[in-house]
Structure 1
Amino acid sequence: MPETAVADTATGVPLKELAARHGLASSGRLLGPVEYARQLWGYRHFITAHAKAKTVSTLGTTNLGTLWQVLTPAINALVYYIIFGVIIGTGANTTNFVPYLCIGVFVFGFTQATVSQGVNSITGNLGLIRALHFPRASLPLSAALVEIRNFITAMGVLLIIVLITGEPVNLQWLLILPAMVLQAMFNMGMAMGGARLGSKMRDIKQLIPFIMRFWMYASAVLYPVTRFTDHLHGWKLHLVEANPMLVFVELYRHSLMENVTLAGSPRLLWTEAVIWAVVVCGAGFLYFWRGEKGYGRG
């Protein structure tokens, strides 16, 4: 028996046609990815306001407040320098190991914090999700925005460390701006992908610290990148050097330090960074978008 179109009793126009004429859609319909992206842009003020509120609620109750945005990476760098630079001596053959190490710690910490916050962005805001209607990707993007702001502040401290350890200021320092943009794109994709994983597998957040620690050791953050070339060859070396966090760390070192040995040519590193940023940002967005209707249920 053919399906009969439901019509408005006053006009006789089918309701589906009437809804389309006035720009209405089913409340349960999953928006297309382009339409969803436009909706996210419309909520940009909500995202920035939520990020600001998150920062205030996290640091506002401490005595030093936002100063912790600077102190946390600086203390981490100091601890790692004492252990790896002084006690173990991993940087004995590296020129100016202090900024070399600090750049790695600060840059990796940017992604590490974003991933950790992104994984918890859905499960930590269930009350907000169930109370209000908004594109759920606003939450991992808000978490990423918080860490972008923190990293910009931390970069001021990093530049001071680089200066006082003898690295000269030059035009190459401007390369940190596109490097930050690419890493921020990469982090947003990781945050969105992690947010969906965290909402489906609650135990994943317990594994994140171990995953990030292993990733840090595999990214030449705490030791010279030449350790890889000394012990690996062929496809194994190429695989390790394609690690996105190794690529981003090396770009910052190339931008801020002179006479530093890199994992590859600057052209190769920039090419890999662009590819990683675009692919991960796009894949993370699509992966999160596909689960939009399921967040907050159950």
Structure 2
Amino acid sequence: MLGIIGGTGLGEALFGEAFGEEHVIDTPFGAPSSPVRVLSWGDTKVAVLARHGDGHTLQPSHVPYRANIFALKKLGVTQLLVSGAVGSLREEIRPRDLVVVDQLIDRTYRRIPTFFDESMAVHAEFAEPYCPWLRERVLAASSSAIDAKVHERGTYVCIEGPEFSTVAEARMHRALGADIVGMTALPEARLAREAEMCCALVAIATDYDCWRPHPRGTTKQTLLAEIIGHVKAATENAVSVLRRTISDLANRPPDVCACSSALELAIWTRRDRIDPRAIAHYGPLVDKYLGPK
């Protein structure tokens, strides 16, 4: 099954106003941001979840990332496409461009970054936070889906928010090597890896972050109208890329990828020291390694 996480309205933009069957899913980590809608795209099932909830009610720090990823895992999602708005930290990444992210810098501090915060020690490989195979499929789809600029890679620095960066922070992010800045990529990508999902992020550049001064005389109203225009155009491009990627994945079966066995060597706790209640708690995350033999 293919999963999609994005902003409010992404599902409608991809599939129309009425799509799929609504699933309300319980998880050990509470309720997901929204019900998950599942529909069929040819022979492929597609599960869509609104990251910020219906009507965009959740701040980035309050998104129930663990519940979201667990709910998709419980439904059987194995490949995950995500999207999100970002600010550009580089002159060459212009508003309305798309970035198929390959690296992350974590500057969050209020979010639990793992499913496994008790009962067992789990250390998943995360050197390449986004699946190279799935990124290649997204890039191949983007080359024929849109005329806009799509950057083949980029480093995303994830800040806590909800405020945007100071100028000093933006300069620091540039010095660290980040190309774009946003608030939602983490712990989402970490959790997708622990859930053994292939994951790819299509980032939507809406504006330049505050390191780049606005032209003299620009008013807040003018700036907001400009950003809204960028968001609309870039989102339309992202929807086209996602739609083409979905079609491609539906027509060509996924390859076997290392993401699907990310926990094979990651569970360091001795089996005889793991409480059976913890195995039941984590369920589909660990069943193939710790379930009944």
Give TM-score scaled by structure 1 length: 0.26
User: Going by fraction, where is strand more abundant, 1 or 2?
Assistant: 2
User: Going by fraction, where is helix more abundant, 1 or 2?
Assistant: 1
